[in-house]
Chains A and B, each alone.
Chain A
Amino acid sequence: MDLQLKIWRQKNKLNKGEIKNYSIKNIEPDMSFLEMLDILNQGLISSGEEPVAFDHDCREGICGACSLVINGAPHGPDKGTTTCQLHMRRFNDGDTIYIEPFRGNSFPVIKDLVVDRSAFDRIQQAGGYVSVNTSGNTVDANATPIPKPDADKAFEAAACIGCGACVAACKNSSAMLFVGAKVSQYAHLPQGKVEAKERVTNMVKQMDKEGFGNCTNTGACEAHCPKEISVENIANLNREYLLSKIK
């Protein structure tokens, strides 16, 4: 199939970016979206131009590196799918596709479609852990049984890949789903209960400091989350936060 691509090009953080037009031919339906961009880039290189920069690594939907807004939707049109797992069979011959970076005040553009998501790392550093030493002197793993429903809930929250689609999808650029997922994971486990209050306080504080917006319950984050993390986690976050203020 032949396609028209409208791609955000931006030299670096300081320069102003713009949409540029490219046309691309002979794309096969079995190709992944990123393989289509690979082909575009090989063509650009052979004509002496700089290729389009985009983040990607595992290309199996788990590392969370890929981060494109495709036709206005973070990670493109498929539900529960990262950009790298989106295939060209989803598009038609002659389509025009808009490709932009994940946008948000806290995600400055580094180049073209590559953005800086280190704010997420800093939120995790503020409290996204259990303060247990890693030297191995812990109790036996089966000493504390965890009810299966709790373990499953924790797992569902922990499946977050930290890609930032929730922020890109949200009109407020809120990171509540991301933070909520981490807080919920630990809230569902006995190991996480000990420091629950400090954790939620510190993580929310850092989230605010990074400049992420607030949640206004539109649910766009869940709709675009490639791992379909539930907005229930935001409710959990609010509850944990409230609890930390009460006692």
Chain B
Amino acid sequence: MENKAKMLSIKVVAETLNVSQKTIRRHINSGKINSVKLGGVHRISESELKRFMAGEVVDSNANKDSGFPLSNKVPSGPLENKWSKHKGNINLVSPANKRNIDIIVVGTGLAGASASATLAELGYNVKSFCFQDSPRRAHSIAAQGGINAAKNYQGDGDSNYRLFYDTIKGGDYRSREANVYRLAEVSANIIDQCVAQGVPFARDYGGLLDNRSFGGVLVSRTFYAKGQTGQQLLLGAYSALNRQINRGKVDMYSRHEMMELVVVKGKARGIITRNLVNGKIERHGAHAVVIASGGYGNVFYLSTNAMGSNVTAGWKIYKKGAFFANPCYTQIHPTCIPVSGEHQSKLTLMSESLRNDGRIWVPKKLEDADKIRKNQMKPTEITEENRDYYLERRYPAFGNLVPRDVASRAAKERCDAGYGVNKTGQAVYLDFSSAIIRYGKEKATSTGQDTNNIDLIKKLGKEIIKAKYGNLFQMYEKIADENPYETPMKIFPAVHYTMGGVWVDYNLMTSIPGCFAIGEANFSDHGANRLGASALMQGLADGYFVLPYTIGDYLANDIKTGSISIESKEFVEAENAVNNFIEKITKNKSGNSVDYYHRKLGKIMWDKCGMSRNQKGLKEAIKEIKELRKDFHNNVFVPGFSNGYNEELAKAGRVADFLELGELFAIDALSREESCGGHFREEHQTKEGEALRNDKDYTYASCWEFMGEQNHPKLNKEHLNFEFIELKSRSYK
């Protein structure tokens, strides 16, 4: 092989990489590029150049034997030194050169907005895109409960290591150690940053920051702003973004959808967008493209995601060569408002923070459950001894605060056994009466009031619950038409977050050089299950503190490139592809609506790829999705015109991508013959019905590679090395 490969001179390599020959020599001397001396002069093989362009590191010890084609670039050395060592070693771009480098950021949620702001502040020219009418409306805004940080302000034994350990364990040992440790390490800084920006976190009476507890952990490390933490953090990032827009360092493109990635000579060099107001297809060039477009939970149609949340940006880069990792890892959140009927368009989350004070139960007796479903009995009529607080019963150590995957499966188990409490039998109770009494008594005692007056105690208790969760209770009452202060809430699991996503290395770069993925769009930090209040942490960590450093490692080799021309044939081809798609999808003059297909896809996904999966169902799902996709492309009807505002057309593009992703999702779930985190295969469970992991065969991230429309995707396995943590079976008992 090596002999046949074309050998290139330093001059040719320097021209290809757009850097000086001196730089190449420096890389050769430092070992970054391997060369052979032929006739006394350095020659570099084509494959070596390709490897270098892909940003792979020569001396990486990981994945040497696994056959994984890329390096994950995890630095060697002790866990706690990796990030500082890496920061010390990576390439930097000088301020003067940053001014000549353009970066595209797709998405303006916590990750996208914070990255855009920080990159602009560092001196890069940023173009920021979102499909919403304002960057402030990205769906990070809806995150309720809080953000984790290892501040240990409560003095309850928290540390970077404990946050790291909890996250690895919570993720069921399917995430990359070094990435997770880095996340824990920068977490404390996020809080400092946000406070400096004027984010109004909750405070105690001494004026210091308050904390609460979330599922899967035994410390209080969650910072919050009532039930609107995501809103406040996003508005903080949005304000930082606005500051840079005002400085002229960020060009903001709202109501723009990314339709295609442009790859020139193996590097991401731009995107094609559609202006959602006038329908114009536009070309945008840059030296690097950052995907921060969030998760793909809407593949299920019903989810807690916003109506517009989509996988399109991630999917387009997958089809241009970026690996898509662990698509089947989906988080089904245990506390959402149950589905009320066929018309349902989306599901609403009730923050996990409610499990701090709410107790989850179903009736102990089947006949009681039956009466409740028929509206012949009220939950308040069921006495304590006839209630089954099943989480407290099954998991005494963590009780109602077990991780989300565990809580969701336990709810499904009870409902499947016939104990569900709404008319469809798909709901359990979340009850605050104990907490109301407890808080009421505390308040009465501390204010010297009558502790035997039950009405007074209830009144005081309700006031405290209102102060903590007022907006959530109000939202519940609006939707469910019941007063949760008086009667227990009804809740049921719903699709909420996707841990899977675009594969990235330690620098957050995808397998396409120059294309990065951050926040929920990437796969890196949460393994097979995410702990509560960690999504906000990851989004801001990636955007404020990780990507702005690591992107320099790539861009340092791009300083001589000059501005990116959007007239190249690659841009023309990408634009043509987008136009062809639009022409095809709008050709029918009648047929089924986009939503018709989206709902059908969602049903297949929920029934066969949802909270529990089995081989038979997954195989059926793959077949059914294929058929549905064919039907969609033949029969979908998109009314209106493509040269103006047309929401149906925008939806059609998104659903077309979901119809492809759904299949990959099922393929991935089928290939993973184990249960871990959010991925529960019925074939792999313990006698007690707990998830059964298979560390021997599946301690890897499944990284799928697109091999063409007609071909099966290729599975590449990034083996996960656990150097610092011992793999254990997860127990919350």
Contacts and interface: CB of A to CB of B under 8 A. Distances in A.
B478 A81 contact: yes
Interface in B600-654: 637, 639-640, 644-645, 647-648
A126 interface: yes
Contacts of A35: 343-345
A186 B198 contact: yes
A217 interface: no
A50 B639 contact: yes
Interface string B346-370: 1011000000000000000000000
Contact of A135 (B118, B225, B340, B593): B118
Contact of B207 (A81, A146, A154): A146
B141 A191 contact: no
Nearest to B210: A148
Given A53-B645, A136-B544, A148-B203, A116 B133 contact: yes
Interface string B583-604: 0000001100101100000000
B81 interface: no
Interface in A160-213: 161-162, 185-186, 188-189, 191-192
Interface string A36-80: 001100101110111101011111111111000000000000101
A30 B648 contact: no
A93 B689 CA distance: 48
Contacts of B578: none
Contacts of A129: 197-198, 239-240, 242-243
A133 B345 CA distance: 40
Interface stretch (A16-24, A137-145, A229-237, A238-246): A137-145
B648 A151 contact: no
A89 B474 CA distance: 16
B256 interface: no
B232 interface: yes
Contacts of A186: 198
A238 B474 CA distance: 32
Contacts of A64: 134, 136-137
Task: Select the residue from A12, A128, A141 with max chain B CB neighbours within 10 A.
Answer: A141
Main SS at interface, chain A: loop
A78 to B, nearest CB: 8
A63 B142 contact: yes
B200 A111 contact: no
Given A12-B644, A192-B198, A131 B243 contact: yes
Contact of A42 (B141, B232, B307, B595): B595
Given A42-B593, A128-B242, A63 B141 contact: yes
Contacts of B475: 60-61, 85
B231 A159 contact: yes
Given A12-B644, A158-B200, A136 B142 contact: no
Given A45-B639, A121-B254, A134-B121, A161 B231 contact: yes
A130 B246 CA distance: 13
A186 B198 CA distance: 7
A124 interface: yes
Nearest to A151: B203
A31 B342 CA distance: 10
A78 B341 CA distance: 23
Interface in B175-214: 186, 189, 191-198, 200-209
A117 interface: yes
A142 B209 contact: yes
Contacts of A120: 134
B153 interface: yes
Task: Select the residue from B193, B545, B595, B648 with max chain A CB neighbours within 10 A.
Answer: B193
B604 to A, nearest CB: 20
Contact of A138 (B192, B203, B207, B306): B192
Given A60-B475, A135-B121, A111 B141 contact: no
A8 interface: no
Given A34-B345, A62-B142, A142-B209, A51 B192 contact: no
B189 A136 contact: yes
B204 A148 contact: yes
A134 B481 contact: no
B478 A121 contact: no
A124 B344 contact: no
A221 interface: no
Contacts, number: 225
Contacts of B194: 141
User: What size tier do the contact residues of chain B reach?
Assistant: 35 or more
B198 A189 contact: yes
Nearest to A153: B200
Contacts of B186: 136
A35 B479 CA distance: 12
Contact of A111 (B118, B345, B589, B645): B645
B239 A89 contact: no
Contact of B228 (A55, A62, A128): A62
B204 A56 contact: no
A62 B252 CA distance: 22
A137 to B, nearest CB: 9
B133 A65 contact: yes
Task: Select the residue from B192, B204, B209, B548 with max chain A CB neighbours within 10 A.
Answer: B192
B245 interface: yes
B481 A136 contact: no
A58 to B, nearest CB: 4
A218 interface: no
A35 B343 CA distance: 7
A158 B146 CA distance: 16
B238 interface: yes
Interface in B132-157: 132-137, 139, 141-142, 151, 153
Nearest to B223: A141
Contact of A147 (B192, B207, B238): B207
B205 to A, nearest CB: 5
B595 A57 contact: no
B226 interface: yes
A106 interface: no
Contacts of B133: 55, 65, 116-118
Interface of B: 114, 117-118, 121-122, 132-137, 139, 141-142, 151, 153, 186, 189, 191-198, 200-209, 225-226, 228, 230-232, 235, 238-240, 242-243, 245-246, 252, 254, 277, 304, 306-308, 340-341, 343-346, 348-349, 474-475, 478-479, 481, 544-545, 548, 589-590, 593, 595-596, 637, 639-640, 644-645, 647-648
Given A63-B139, A155-B226, 8 more contacts: A61-B475, A62-B231, A111-B644, A120-B134, A121-B134, A125-B246, A146-B203, A162-B136
27 contacts: A11-B644, A35-B344, A38-B343, A39-B343, A44-B639, A48-B637, A51-B648, A60-B142, A62-B230, A64-B137, A78-B478, A120-B134, A121-B135, A125-B245, A125-B246, A130-B239, A135-B118, A135-B544, A138-B193, A138-B196, A145-B206, A148-B204, A154-B198, A154-B200, A158-B225, A158-B235, A159-B231
Interface of A: 11-12, 28, 30-32, 34-35, 38-39, 42, 44-46, 48-51, 53, 55-65, 78, 80-81, 85, 87, 89, 110-111, 114, 116-118, 120-121, 124-136, 138-142, 144-148, 151-152, 154-155, 158-159, 161-162, 185-186, 188-189, 191-192
